[in-house]
Chain A
Amino acid sequence: MQNTNSTTMMPAMSRRQSLKLFGLMVAGAALPGLAACTSSTSAESAIAGSTAQTGHWPTIEIKPIVLEGYGKDPNLIIPPTSPWPKTLTETQLNIVGRLSEILVPKDNEQPGALEIGAPHVVDEWVSAPYSGQQHDRDTILRLLIWLDEEAQLHHDMSFMGLEKAAQMAILDRIAYGTDEAPVEYHQPAQAFDRLRKLILAAYFCSAPGSREIGYMGNVAIAGDYPGPTDEAMAHLDEALASLGLTDYAYSPIGE
């Protein structure tokens, strides 16, 4: 994967994220063939008989993760950085990395989803032994297979082997929801939406993403809670006025 290298690590990256990136590089180098699902993503067999018109949502069995979780009394002060083995293959991680770049690209000084380590958050998520994550695992792994199948079908190449324009042409079919898309793209579109939200969550959860969305809490305040700023109150006043609620504005009771 040409896009993940140590130079993309940002100074603001947490220890956990750096460890994850480091872990990826090691794992990627050592275990190139690690399989995340029961069969290899053999596009030919999975899409035999399929055409772009009938659709080709993968039906192979995806084995669930059967492992203990982190338990009911984990260390809350030093959370585990590797609570369970990650299971995405290097190829799958590369696709998630590419999607991360496309969904939340780097923007001048602001890192993107790839730089904050979203692929590793996704890997941790789909590898987790809990029911919600297992559901997402099924969805997301099928999407990753589907992307390769779609690339094979139209270009006789893997998704990562395509030029960016061809990759975007595939993604454009599934990135705008199911309302517009032909029915054979509904399943991949729903799966893409799930992965997109997961990557967005990973991004906004990170320190740079959290700053960008405007979360200003988690800082100790000495004295009383200051409440809304003048600017925030002015905005509220406009909202009250637009809704015809100005006359009903809150006045402190019993103080």
Chain B
Amino acid sequence: MAKFEHEVLVVGSGAGGAMAAYELTKAGIKVLLLEAGRDYDPKTETPMFKRNADAPLMASGNADKNFGYYDATVDGGWSVPDEPYTTDDESEFLWWRARMLGGRTNHWGRYSLRFSEHDFKGKSRDGLGADWPFEYSDIAPWYDKTEQLVGVCGTNTGLDDMPDSAPGVLQPPPKPRVPELLVAAAANKLGIKAVPMHRAVLTRPKDERAACFYATPCGHGCSIGAAFQTTTSLLPMAQKTGNLKVLTNAMVKHVDTDNTGKVTGVTIIDKTTSEANAISARVVILAASACESARIMLNSSSEHHPNGLANSSGQLGRNLMDSTGAGLGATIPALRNRPRYNEDGHTANHLFIPWWGHKAQANGELDFPRGYHFEIGSGFREPGAWVSGNFKGYGQDLKDEAKSNYGASVYFALRGEMLPNPHCYMDIDPEVTDKWGIPVARFHWKWSEHELNQVAHGLQTAKDILETMGATVGELPSPEQAIAKGGQIIHEVGTARMGASKEDSVTNQWGQTWDCPNLFVMDGGVFASNPHKNCTLTILTLAMRNANWLTNQLKQGAL
């Protein structure tokens, strides 16, 4: 067999990295993909059909497995062994990482909502944050291609918050469940629409992936490939081309440059031997996650790049954004003792509430500039370590109370857009290094009034809907109490934002760094804003579009 000689190095095997590798290898370009975590095979490692009772602590979460025993995340979560991160004294920030092939795509929520023209041009509209350096119409065909490749179920709603997909792109959504239908009616009375969620879950077979069989939470991973993750789709497809080589346990320490400042490759730590190795390449694509890629670039200073690689704008590590998060739930008396049926469905929202307030914002009726959506928590879930009810005494009364309350609660999870602000950024901790000797990321965080006002509005709206459903809702918490910590919604983006000018952005619209033409960023780092719609679909779409552009550049000999 001929020696494998790669042209492009891709750092990271999650949404951005795997899509870039797929796009490049499909076009005949040889790619070496580096993954800091271990190899992972969903076919043999996914706990399908496992019951909570069969895992320690009824499968509930803890410091080792933050989202429960069966969560797919390997060697990660809010902490990674031997790889700390820090915050300044005033900040709280949580950084979810995975150390496994496929990265966080193995466990993500699979919610896949397109950003709209409205989202890409926020600054033009309200003067805040930054515009993206392209129009929705530029990216719409790429959303279509991505949705088709990934497999997204949902419908075209025609709502102003949800751009339509091209005909035939979306797969049929599953039928709504009873609590979702009750929410939809109550919200409708208040002038708010609940509609089918868009989710990267197959309801029809595609390629070698089976359609969902409506069992086993997607967060456990999906051995049949119905719930999209790169380890059952893009990575094996790229491997089939013969143009992909994957190196796991390869932690990038820094990007290497020559004495003219040009990128020549990367230096990795082989975690199995703890040895550093330099790997050269014609082009380097960073897709290690927004904060990990920014960390690598900030750790790659040199004479030509004194403040971090490709950081002549000073924007590297700045503009760090998460989604806002807050929640409110209640028991709905009308849902007590309801008839049982299987409500697993595709194990997440069949209906959700997209942002309905664009017009109100345009009319200046709201005291916050950017929107949010509600995800709905409800249903006859598999019993776990917590039982809902107000329990008194013993025996049959307890059983009756538990059974009455089963499936009777509804919880609204707000996910909203935050604006970048000067207090939210990451840099490199001057003192702390990880096990591999790599200086670690340090986070700085402060919500602004925009986010707090938005959360206050969301809590009140959730209360209104719950009360319309007949629930008793107590006094609301303050938005400061209710808002999730920075990073906690795991939508952190913006640390290497793209823009129209090298003065105020790190990359151009293709994810190509302004300072180093052969260095690209293809993860959430390039986001110029962070619309409330969950970032992964857009990471995938940008990676497809930009890897396609890179392919053409390479074929034309421009790089």
Interface residues, chain A, with chain B CB atoms under 8 Å away: 14, 16-17, 69-74, 76-77, 79-80, 83, 102-105, 121, 124-125, 128, 130-133, 171, 175-177, 193, 196-198, 200-202, 204-207, 209-210, 212-222, 224-229, 231-236, 239-240, 242-243, 245-246, 248-250, 252-255
> How far in angstroms is the closest Cβ of chain B from A49?
32
Please encode chain B, from 51 to 84, with 1 for each CB lying within 8 Å of some chain A CB and 0 for all others. Answer: 1111111101011110001101111110011000
| Whole-angstrom CA separation of A253 from B391 in the bound complex | 41
Structural contact, A104 and B398, CB atoms closer than 8 A: yes
| Whole-angstrom CA separation of A133 from B62 in the bound complex | 9
- Number of contacts between A and B (CB, 8 Å)? 255
Structural contact, B394 and A70, CB atoms closer than 8 A: no
Interface of A, helix, strand, loop or mixed by DSSP: loop
Chain B residues whose C-beta falls within 8 Å of the C-beta of A218 in the assembled complex: 49, 51, 215-216, 344, 382
Known contacts A175-B393, A235-B338, A248-B189; is A205 also within 8 Å of B384 by CB? yes
Known contacts A201-B383, A243-B334; is A213 also within 8 Å of B406 by CB? yes
Structural contact, A219 and B220, CB atoms closer than 8 A: no
Chain A residues whose C-beta falls within 8 Å of the C-beta of B193 in the assembled complex: 253
Among A14, A70, A74, A210, the residue within 8 A (CB) of B382 is A210
Structural contact, A209 and B383, CB atoms closer than 8 A: yes
Partner-contacting stretch, out of B177-185, B487-495, B512-520: B177-185
Chain B residues whose C-beta falls within 8 Å of the C-beta of A131 in the assembled complex: 62-63
Structural contact, B341 and A248, CB atoms closer than 8 A: no
Structural contact, B175 and A250, CB atoms closer than 8 A: no
The 8 closest A-B pairs by CB, nearest first: A227-B175, A217-B344, A214-B340, A250-B184, A239-B334, A130-B62, A225-B174, A220-B213
Known contacts A204-B402, A215-B383, A248-B186; is A171 also within 8 Å of B394 by CB? yes
Structural contact, B399 and A236, CB atoms closer than 8 A: no
Partner-contacting stretch, out of B154-162, B231-239, B297-305: B154-162
Chain B residues whose C-beta falls within 8 Å of the C-beta of A245 in the assembled complex: 182, 185-186, 188-189, 468
Chain A residues whose C-beta falls within 8 Å of the C-beta of B81 in the assembled complex: 72
> How far in angstroms is the closest Cβ of chain A from B172?
7
Chain B residues whose C-beta falls within 8 Å of the C-beta of A240 in the assembled complex: 182, 185
> How far in angstroms is the closest Cβ of chain A from B185?
4
Query: Max chain A CB contacts within 10 Å: which of B44, B51, B195?
Result: B51
Known contacts A130-B62, A218-B215, A231-B339; is A224 also within 8 Å of B383 by CB? no
| Whole-angstrom CA separation of A102 from B396 in the bound complex | 10
Interface of B, helix, strand, loop or mixed by DSSP: loop
User: B385 at interface (Cβ–Cβ under 8 A)?
Assistant: yes
Chain A residues whose C-beta falls within 8 Å of the C-beta of B80 in the assembled complex: 72
Chain B residues whose C-beta falls within 8 Å of the C-beta of A205 in the assembled complex: 51-53, 58, 383-385
> How far in angstroms is the closest Cβ of chain A from B385?
5
> How far in angstroms is the closest Cβ of chain A from B300?
28
> How far in angstroms is the closest Cβ of chain B from A18?
12
Q: Identify the closest chain A residue to B392 (Cβ).
A: A176
Known contacts A131-B63, A250-B194; is A201 also within 8 Å of B387 by CB? yes
Structural contact, A228 and B175, CB atoms closer than 8 A: yes
Chain B residues whose C-beta falls within 8 Å of the C-beta of A71 in the assembled complex: 64
| Whole-angstrom CA separation of A220 from B398 in the bound complex | 31
Q: Identify the closest chain A residue to B388 (Cβ).
A: A197
User: B403 at interface (Cβ–Cβ under 8 A)?
Assistant: yes
CB under 8 Å from chain A, chain B span 388-434? 391-395, 398-399, 402-403, 406-407
Among A124, A207, A209, the residue within 8 A (CB) of B57 is A124
Structural contact, A202 and B470, CB atoms closer than 8 A: no
Chain A residues whose C-beta falls within 8 Å of the C-beta of B346 in the assembled complex: 225
Chain A residues whose C-beta falls within 8 Å of the C-beta of B334 in the assembled complex: 239, 242-243
Known contacts A74-B69, A177-B392, A243-B186; is A254 also within 8 Å of B194 by CB? no
Among A102, A201, A232, the residue within 8 A (CB) of B395 is A102
Structural contact, B156 and A72, CB atoms closer than 8 A: no
Chain A residues whose C-beta falls within 8 Å of the C-beta of B403 in the assembled complex: 212-214
| Whole-angstrom CA separation of A17 from B403 in the bound complex | 23
| Whole-angstrom CA separation of A128 from B60 in the bound complex | 12
Among B51, B57, B469, the residue within 8 A (CB) of A133 is B57
User: B203 at interface (Cβ–Cβ under 8 A)?
Assistant: yes
Chain B residues whose C-beta falls within 8 Å of the C-beta of A229 in the assembled complex: 339, 341
Chain A residues whose C-beta falls within 8 Å of the C-beta of B452 in the assembled complex: none
CB under 8 Å from chain A, chain B span 351-397? 351, 380-387, 391-395
| Whole-angstrom CA separation of A48 from B382 in the bound complex | 47
Chain A residues whose C-beta falls within 8 Å of the C-beta of B435 in the assembled complex: none
User: B479 at interface (Cβ–Cβ under 8 A)?
Assistant: no
Query: Max chain B CB contacts within 10 Å: which of A221, A229, A231?
Result: A221
| Whole-angstrom CA separation of A103 from B264 in the bound complex | 68
Structural contact, B70 and A76, CB atoms closer than 8 A: yes
* CB<8 Å pairs between A and B, sample of 22: A14-B51, A14-B54, A69-B63, A71-B64, A72-B64, A72-B81, A80-B56, A176-B392, A197-B386, A197-B387, A201-B387, A205-B385, A214-B340, A215-B383, A217-B382, A220-B215, A221-B213, A229-B341, A232-B340, A235-B338, A249-B181, A253-B159
User: B45 at interface (Cβ–Cβ under 8 A)?
Assistant: yes
User: B343 at interface (Cβ–Cβ under 8 A)?
Assistant: yes
Query: Max chain B CB contacts within 10 Å: which of A80, A171, A245, A255?
Result: A245
Known contacts A212-B403, A245-B189, A248-B185; is A72 also within 8 Å of B56 by CB? no
> How far in angstroms is the closest Cβ of chain B from A117?
9
| Whole-angstrom CA separation of A206 from B334 in the bound complex | 27
> How far in angstroms is the closest Cβ of chain B from A20?
11
User: B273 at interface (Cβ–Cβ under 8 A)?
Assistant: no
| Whole-angstrom CA separation of A222 from B46 in the bound complex | 20
User: B260 at interface (Cβ–Cβ under 8 A)?
Assistant: no
User: B522 at interface (Cβ–Cβ under 8 A)?
Assistant: no
User: B345 at interface (Cβ–Cβ under 8 A)?
Assistant: yes
> How far in angstroms is the closest Cβ of chain A from B434?
15
> How far in angstroms is the closest Cβ of chain B from A180?
9
Chain B residues whose C-beta falls within 8 Å of the C-beta of A250 in the assembled complex: 176, 181, 184-185, 188, 194, 351
